Amino acid sequence: MKSTSPGYAITIRVETNMSIAPTSLIPAAVAAAGGTLTALDVVESLQDHVVIDVTCDAVDADHAVVITDAIKAASPQIIVRNVSDRTFLLHLGGKLEVRSKVPLKTRDDLSRAYTPGVARVCLAIAKDKSDARHLTIKRNTVAVVSDGSAVLGLGNIGPEAAMPVMEGKAALFKRFADVDAWPICLDTQDTEEIIRTVQLIAPGFGGINLEDISAPRCFEIEARLKELLDIPVFHDDQHGTAIVVLAALINSLKLVKKNLSDVRIVLSGAGAAGNAVIRLLIISGAKHIIAFDSKGSIHKDSPRANDMRSWLIDNTNHESRNCTLGEALVGADVFIGVSAPNILKESDVAAMAPDSIVLALANPDPEIDPVLAAKHARIVATGRSDYPNQINNVLAFPGIFRGLLDAGVSKVTDEMLASAAIAIAGCVSDDQLNATFIIPSVFDPAVTPAVSSAVIAIAKAMKPARV
């Protein structure tokens, strides 16, 4: 059975009487149904009955029903009053709010924060637009922009359905880097409309974080916006993933005593994330990469559907192997998956080179069960929080933008991305490094400062136009 997850946490309110020993009967029922009990709270206790909140983690929504039914079946005297989905409760009313940083208690306060005093500040900015960075929220504000076309593992679900993810992204910006981010979900999937819309709203932001926009449109949108805007544009699905993958690989190779330039790498998933991972790996010294999409290996005779696909054809699979994923993995040192669940067999991992590395990052279900992969691979990582070695973009994008905003640079460079990966890898000391700890925790307070410092150092070395 799959592992339970806090993402499917429920609270079941039950009413019963103490004669059946509910505090032992109910936990037993939850355990028998495969749930993980996290809390048992008596919320009302009278002579003739007791009300108990049973909080537990399930595998998925259907499993939550199974757990509830098991509690009902434990005794005829147990009545289920209601079941609350804790994830939905957390999202009620959204996850963000706006608060004023200045007091607004007196007429003097209003006179300076708003009219008439605010007019003087407006005129100063009109005279010199660069003052907007110092006199408005611009220097610490990021727009999280999505069209809802490639959300998590959910696909094209539209802008309204993408909002909870973008809100979450904004909350992560604030929590980990004290960056004020705001979700901008656009009701269009037209490339030109997206580019023009972001260009129009850019004056109010210090950076643009593109999110969950499907390939290949995301490549053109990012490239064009980089040309048009004087603020940094970062596509987290591409570059955030690539940074953390490189960081994990740096430490993994250090552990198995192999060099990036020597290892054979097989990557599944040649979309936005896959392209960015390969590009950053090659910049960092990787020489032997073969990439796969849903149609098979990418080789010299593959269709050149767009510029990014042409780049992949020219820079990977130098032997032009037209093979299956399983065939490519024979003797390979590294597998990186940013594709689809359960596409690898245990025998595929068993056929890899000694001390192999498997980064199976499809979410929510990886390319192979990590327990099976760990039977043969030296190091296994996933994108999930319930297994060791979580490859999570939260390690990258808060620090990246903290550095970009503080340095006042207008462009994100490959050198910044590589430097950020090295900084993340460096947050795991030699004493800490082992097969189940190749990457720091997202809650490690050293990560964001290390990444932002790395970005600022590169920015200063490149003499940015604006500081």
Full DSSP string of 125-181: HHH-GGGHHHHSGGGGEEEEEE-SSSBTTTBS--HHHHHHHHHHHHHHHHHHH--EE
What residues are labeled active site? 114, 169
- Token digits of residue 144: 């999280």
Start-to-end Cα distance in the chain: 54
C-alpha distances in Å from residue 303, one per residue of 219, 236, 267, 306, 314: 18, 27, 18, 9, 12
* Helical pair 217-228 and 272-283, crossing angle rounded to 10 deg: 60
Residue 339 to residue 354: CA distance in whole angstroms: 24
Instruction: State the Cα–Cα distance between residues 267 and 336, nearest whole angstrom.
Output: 5
Residue pair 231/254 in contact by the 8 Å Cβ criterion: no
Task: Label residue 21 exposed, middle or buried (CB < 10 Å: 0-12, 13-18, 19+).
Answer: exposed
CA–centroid distance for 21 within its chain = 44
Is 392 within 8 Å of 217 (Cβ atoms)? no
> Residue written as tokens 């596509």?
235
Dist. CA 266–CA 250, nearest whole Å: 16
Q: Which helix (H) or strand (E) holds 407?
A: helix 397-407
Place of tokens 């849903």: 294
Name the β-bridge partners of 32: none
Tokens of 123: 């005129």
| Cβ count within 10 A of residue 420 | 32
Name the token pair of 85. 């989905």
Q: What sections of 210-332 are H helices per DSSP?
A: 217-228, 241-256, 272-283, 307-315, 325-329
**What is the rounded CA–CA span in Å between residue 235 and residue 304?**
23
Q: Give dist(CA 298, CA 136) in Å, integer.
A: 48
